[in-house]
Amino acid sequence: MTDERDAISRRAALVQSATGAAALVLGGCATSSKVQGRAPQVEAQYQDHPSGLERCGTCKHFIPLSGCEIVAAPVQANGWCKYYKLF
């Protein structure tokens, strides 16, 4: 009986880890589907430092390592602009 429970637990763990891996892959695809923006940095009031707690690294438009869906590259993870949107 214990062996059967162990087998079920191992199977459940494998399914959970496979599901997590699939989520990571899909998340990675979503990130790579972003298209680099072209808005001038001056127009976006881009700055190379955060605005309070807001920074490119936590913005939904950020494309690692130095891109942005709105503002022309390069932008830095510690930068900020007026289009900031928390992801």
Judged by the rule CB under 6 A, the positions of this chain that interact with ligand SF4 are: 46, 56, 59, 61-62, 68, 70-71, 75, 79-81, 83-84
Q: What is the 3-state secondary structure (H, E, C) of 62-76?
A: EECCCEECCECCCCC
For residue 61, which of 23, 44, 49 has the smallest C-alpha distance?
44
Q: Give the Cα separation of 43 and 40 in Å (integer).
A: 5
Q: How far is the CB of 11 from ligand SF4 (least distance, A)?
A: 42
CB of 30 to ligand SF4, least distance (A): 15
Indicate the residue among 42 and 71 with the shorter CB distance to ligand SF4: 71
